Structure 1
Amino acid sequence: MNCRRLPGIRWALVALALVLVPAALPVRAQLLVRPVPVPAPVPVAPPLPVQSLAAAASSPTQLAAADKIDPALRDLMQANPQALLPVIVEMEHPVAPFVGAPNVDRALTALDLLRQSGISVAGLSLIDGAAGFANAAGINAVSLVPAVARIHHDATVGPQRSADPPVIAPPDQVSEVYPLVVNADQVWQQGTTGGGVTVAVLDSGVAADADLVQPANRILASVNFADQRLASDPGGHGTHIAGIIAGNGSRSGGEFVGIAPQANVVDVRVLGSTGSGRISSVIRGIEWVLAHRAAYNIRVINLSFGARANLSYRADPMAAAVEIAWRRGLVVVAASGNGGPARDTVVTPGTDPYAITVGATDDRGTLSRGDDMLAWFSGWGSADSNAKPDLVAPGRRLVSIRVPGSALDRLFPERVVVARNGSTYFRLTGTSMATAVVSGAAALLLARRPDLTPDQVKALLVGTTQPYGWDSGQVLPDPIADGSGLLDAYAAVNTAPPPAPSPVPGGILPGGLLPGMLGGLVPSAVQPLACANLALRPADGFARALFPVLYGSPLHWKDPTLGGIDWQTLTWDSVLWDSTAWDNFAWDSVLWDSVLWDSVLWDSVLWDSIAWDSVAWDSILWDSFTLD
């Protein structure tokens, strides 16, 4: 990628004196298997009526330079002004008519700013930004550029430690019954096992275990944004998650089986061997999934990790990426985090109101739901007036695939579980595991009803939960701590789906509301089991990235075409780029502060491509896995 000069920002960088350290060796995304034929394309919501765009003509108020820097990042700058800090720079949308300023150009501009004031690492064209490193002087200089919208700390993502002691359980108490607790076995008996649906597992990698590759290989692709290690899953966490979602029990003779045992998996590695990564790598992983959604029929994204939510989801770049994926037709399932039992301990991206956020229960290793309890570590809260989690699922001592010699395997040898036939598995605890249970249930639901939209999937999963814990004597810290209740996969699959979002005829809705106030959608009072996520305010990054389309400017995001290319030997300077149209794509209206955005038909939204450059990682221990 060629460096371009930016005359308009020279004045902001004149006084900058920054000693650069050598950039890390580039980490290239590695595609390990080729695309395969898939079923029909993902459905999208029907088009909504386009009303006047006059209210959207004005852009948000320009922030002062200091206000562009996230408070958590300002604290780090003050603590060590000379330290090179990992950052994400988001660009403001340009003034209409947006001539010559597609999304990818704004990502390139952000890269140039980081290159001139620090170290540029990777373009994040999905959110009109870039990731890199800069010290306090460099960050302040970038904040002075009028076109810069926000500068975030590129924080570490991973499971969160809880400060409270665990509830003591018998040493031999493990859970292989979780599919039965959520009634997945009853769905299997109806002939639905997840076949044809692909779940993208953004995690530490997925090893080629027999439970996933025999009798047929259901790991359709593996791509690495984390590090340069050759091992498919050096941590062991991602494979455990994939097994909960889609393990078929081949090695155990059917003793340890996942929720959707015939679903496919795409391995998108965003966490290193220590269980940590950065927000920027997660955004890049989501960007990759969006670009290859059709090639692998990816319908669900599983995010079994989180970062401390220091800001509202509205200013969170990871939340923006999640919302773009959701609106593109992908069900995003995220962990609530392991910070309970205290209030407001939900981690990002689980704080985003669009995502399906999952807390954890302890099924006590029994089939009875009467003795189940909300897990002591399960995060919950009501940040931004959005109650989270949305629902709960088993997440304590779940048995799934073991990766011998992985970081977790070496750290916790006592957690190896031996099946009746002598094969070995592994037990883990956390909302990460509960999240995988719900992702598997989403795969079952979409296998039965491939026409469902993400909003309909969320409405069914959250609206058909079952009671639990009536014999446990547990008193919840708050009624919202477990969302709507315990997942019931059978009820979700066998309940009539909520109607898809549909245009409202002219006139006044009940209560005197105009159609535009609800995004042109029928409110819950008018339709049974209404779709989820109606009239929610989106993240700022989502709004900025999509604002130009209201004026007819196409989106241009970047991803390399993969046809016949081995990503392990790919030369990025000479790569050929392809464009994939988002045909028949409609967006609900978006209410952003006082700006009312009416519905727009988004035909031919183009993916150009941006190089996946290098990325750097923190090294932290798997601290959350002291849970048991």
Structure 2
Amino acid sequence: MATLGALLAGSGLSAAHADVQPALGYDPVTNKGALYNIAEVVGAHDAYRKGLTGKGVGVALIDTGIAPVPGLTSGNVVNGPDLSFDSQLDGMAHLDAFGHGTHMGSIIAGRDAAGTPSSYLDPGRFTGIAPDATLVNVKVGAHNGAVDVTQVIAGINWVVEHAKDPGLNIRVISLAYGTDSLQSSTVDPLAYAVENAWKRGIVVVAAGGNDGRPDKTLANPAYDPHVLAVGAMDSAGTVDSSDDTVPSWSTRGTTARHVDVVAPGVSVLGLRVPGGVSDSDNPQARVGDRFARASGTSQATAVVAGQAALILQQYPWLAPDQVKQLMMTTASGILSTVPIFGGSGMVNLRAVLNNPIDSLLKTVGGLLDGVLNLRWSSGTGSLEKARGSFHVGSGTSELRGEIDIFGRAWSAYTWARDTSYGTVWNYGDWRGVRVAGNAWRDGAWPTVTWPGADWTGASWTADGWSAKTWSGDSWSAKTWSGDTWSAKTWSGDTWSAKTWSGHGWD
């Protein structure tokens, strides 16, 4: 086993900081899951030294919401629409009672207070990868994890149509969501939604999956070749790439389509939601008073989303294809594995930001030809097939077939046409149904009462990328299933949750 001194020497990190910070509850320098350590490994500290912190770049987090816990209350979080089932519950709009979105948001753009770029080099303060990025909270997953693919599609549609709203400048979507759909991406509606965002200048960063079985393909929409598919890797806490590995649970995909890049995703220390579902069920994952460890391609996706924001601050004119190929061509390869596991390797901001952009783009130009010649989705495939094996339910029935969560028939052709025209949202109406308010009010997108059925109790995610349980220091299993995260876990009687307080759910 390497000594502490050897570890620090190999990582380029100073032994002078090798101690537990009281304000954090862990050693941010040598702990491989600490965001300070991860920022050093992936080159984010080099970006801060150049004055790059993600400022002016919007990252849309399509997830289970964001809780206003310390580290996410310093002014860079904006509440977009709440399209989750929680939007119909008093006092629950935009909040994250599940815990996943808060963990992701803290990795992308967490910070205890706004500061100067150099201040984010202080290991004693909590800092996400792109601490000054604008984090746009687009909530689709409910307090029990329940979500239907139509809610995710609606969220992506909203981001595209509101990306240029004043103060947003959304250039990145972080999507740690996936279904086990086997429908071709050339017709799949979820694939069409992310491709539409991509065509309109938004880099879609999608989790590849957490099922490393040989028979598993990447989750939908990460399986779409036009987005940036992310796998997880273990950096061993060092900058030196020779000890990097890819955990066996990171979905390998196929020779034809595997992850494009990997990022640290093992035992990542992000903010927890005190009293939330994941926090209450898994107290052993807590670290200090504020943090919890989790492993997965979701965490890796959040790291890469933050990196994309830093790159786009430096080069705002880059198209998504150029950002993707820059990341791939400059990545640090994983010596211990083959591309089907690790893609091009770990995104290395040092290589992107410290080399002349003209020379990098010259290399990228040749690679783009193959990407641009790939077939794009028509969006006219089956909505039911896009769901894969995951369905929301109401009582004893499940939502199945070519209908959305409002019980309306799904016309794939009409939806795809309106999506391409940028008219699928009309103020607060999505596909002709009022599902959100008409415009920004008090710094947030307001909620409204929905028509139709009350679908609850199904999975926020497919078995592609996440977890049943927290074990020890990581999220180790493969699914959040309806059985594991049911409405019974977080019932109205147990969690009335009218308001959020700093200490937990009242």
1:623 alignment partner, one of 461, 468, 473: 468
| CA distance in 2 between partners of 1:526 and 1:257 (Å) | 31
| CA distance in 1 between partners of 2:241 and 2:68 (Å) | 33
Partner residue in 2 for 1:518: none
Q: Contact 2:333–2:344 at 8 Å: present in 1 too?
A: no
**How far 1:283 sits from its partner (Å)?**
0.4
Q: Contact 1:362–1:372 at 8 Å: present in 2 too?
A: yes
Aligned length: 379
Partner residue in 1 for 2:78: 220
5 Å matches for 1:410-449? 410-418=280-288, 423-449=289-315
1:339 alignment partner, one of 187, 191, 211: 211
Partner residue in 1 for 2:242: 370
Partner residue in 1 for 2:330: 464
**How far 1:618 sits from its partner (Å)?**
3.3
- Whether 2:221 is the aligned partner of 1:354: answer no
**How far 1:500 sits from its partner (Å)?**
12
Q: Contact 1:359–1:393 at 8 Å: present in 2 too?
A: yes
Which of 1 and 2 has greater Rg?
Answer: 1
Partner residue in 2 for 1:288: 158
> Cα–Cα, structure 1 residues 405 and 547, in superposed 2: closer, same or farther, change >3 Å?
closer
- Whether 2:340 is the aligned partner of 1:480: answer yes
Partner residue in 2 for 1:557: 424
| CA distance in 2 between partners of 1:458 and 1:191 (Å) | 22
269-278 or 556-565, larger mean C-alpha shift: 556-565
Q: Contact 1:338–1:378 at 8 Å: present in 2 too?
A: yes
Partner residue in 2 for 1:13: none
1:241 alignment partner, one of 75, 97, 104: 104
Instruction: Specify the SS of the correspondent of 1:258.
Output: coil
| CA distance in 1 between partners of 2:182 and 2:146 (Å) | 18
Partner residue in 2 for 1:308: 180
Structure 1: give runs of 5+ residues left out of the alignment.
1-171, 502-523, 573-611
Partner residue in 2 for 1:541: 379
**How far 1:490 sits from its partner (Å)?**
2.2
- Deviation track 1:254-298 (CA, whole Å, cap 9, x = no partner) reads 444211111110101111223341111100101111121111111
- Deviation track 1:50-93 (CA, whole Å, cap 9, x = no partner) reads xxxxxxxxxxxxxxxxxxxxxxxxxxxxxxxxxxxxxxxxxxxx
Q: Contact 1:201–1:242 at 8 Å: present in 2 too?
A: yes
**How far 1:316 sits from its partner (Å)?**
1.7
| CA distance in 2 between partners of 1:555 and 1:224 (Å) | 20
| CA distance in 2 between partners of 1:444 and 1:567 (Å) | 26
- Deviation track 1:277-325 (CA, whole Å, cap 9, x = no partner) reads 1111100101111121111111100001211132221232110101111
| CA distance in 2 between partners of 1:555 and 1:203 (Å) | 22
Partner residue in 1 for 2:45: 185
- Deviation track 1:461-497 (CA, whole Å, cap 9, x = no partner) reads 111101345xxxx4x3x43221111110222234444
**How far 1:623 sits from its partner (Å)?**
1.4
| CA distance in 2 between partners of 1:201 and 1:532 (Å) | 29
2:135 alignment partner, one of 265, 268, 293: 265
| CA distance in 1 between partners of 2:55 and 2:270 (Å) | 20
- Deviation track 1:482-529 (CA, whole Å, cap 9, x = no partner) reads 11111102222344447999xxxxxxxxxxxxxxxxxxxxxx999456
- Deviation track 1:518-558 (CA, whole Å, cap 9, x = no partner) reads xxxxxx99945647731110112179569979xxx966422
| CA distance in 2 between partners of 1:223 and 1:415 (Å) | 30
> Cα–Cα, structure 1 residues 432 and 625, in superposed 2: closer, same or farther, change >3 Å?
farther
Q: Contact 1:453–1:500 at 8 Å: present in 2 too?
A: no
TM-score normalised over the length of structure 2: 0.68
2:260 alignment partner, one of 390, 401, 407: 390
- Name the % identity: 36
**How far 1:400 sits from its partner (Å)?**
1.1
Q: Contact 1:322–1:355 at 8 Å: present in 2 too?
A: yes
5 Å matches for 1:136-147? none
Amino acid at match of 1:395: G
**How far 1:427 sits from its partner (Å)?**
1.0
Instruction: Specify the SS of the correspondent of 1:481.
Output: helix
**How far 1:175 sits from its partner (Å)?**
4.0
| CA distance in 2 between partners of 1:188 and 1:536 (Å) | 36
| CA distance in 1 between partners of 2:449 and 2:303 (Å) | 39
Q: Contact 2:326–2:360 at 8 Å: present in 1 too?
A: no
> Cα–Cα, structure 1 residues 564 and 363, in superposed 2: closer, same or farther, change >3 Å?
closer
Partner residue in 2 for 1:328: 200
Partner residue in 2 for 1:493: 353
- Deviation track 1:121-159 (CA, whole Å, cap 9, x = no partner) reads xxxxxxxxxxxxxxxxxxxxxxxxxxxxxxxxxxxxxxx
| CA distance in 2 between partners of 1:460 and 1:218 (Å) | 27
Q: Contact 1:288–1:559 at 8 Å: present in 2 too?
A: no
Partner residue in 2 for 1:318: 190
| CA distance in 1 between partners of 2:182 and 2:141 (Å) | 21
| CA distance in 2 between partners of 1:414 and 1:260 (Å) | 28
Amino acid at match of 1:246: A
**How far 1:226 sits from its partner (Å)?**
1.0
| CA distance in 2 between partners of 1:359 and 1:286 (Å) | 21
5 Å matches for 1:501-580? 527=365, 530=368, 533-541=371-379, 556-560=423-427, 561-564=438-441, 568=446, 570=448
| CA distance in 1 between partners of 2:190 and 2:163 (Å) | 19
Instruction: Specify the SS of the correspondent of 1:180.
Output: helix
Q: Contact 2:440–2:446 at 8 Å: present in 1 too?
A: no
Structure 2: give runs of 5+ residues left out of the alignment.
1-30, 115-121, 382-412, 428-437, 461-466, 477-506
> Cα–Cα, structure 1 residues 349 and 498, in superposed 2: closer, same or farther, change >3 Å?
farther
Amino acid at match of 2:371: N
| CA distance in 1 between partners of 2:123 and 2:68 (Å) | 18
**How far 1:445 sits from its partner (Å)?**
0.5
**How far 1:250 sits from its partner (Å)?**
4.7
Instruction: Specify the SS of the correspondent of 1:245.
Output: helix
Partner residue in 1 for 2:148: 278
| CA distance in 1 between partners of 2:45 and 2:139 (Å) | 30
Q: Contact 1:456–1:499 at 8 Å: present in 2 too?
A: no
> Cα–Cα, structure 1 residues 173 and 322, in superposed 2: closer, same or farther, change >3 Å?
closer
| CA distance in 1 between partners of 2:141 and 2:457 (Å) | 10
Partner residue in 1 for 2:18: none
Amino acid at match of 2:67: A
Partner residue in 1 for 2:13: none
| CA distance in 2 between partners of 1:396 and 1:537 (Å) | 34
Amino acid at match of 1:212: L
> Cα–Cα, structure 1 residues 212 and 547, in superposed 2: closer, same or farther, change >3 Å?
closer
Amino acid at match of 2:84: A
- Whether 2:63 is the aligned partner of 1:203: answer yes
| CA distance in 1 between partners of 2:316 and 2:414 (Å) | 28
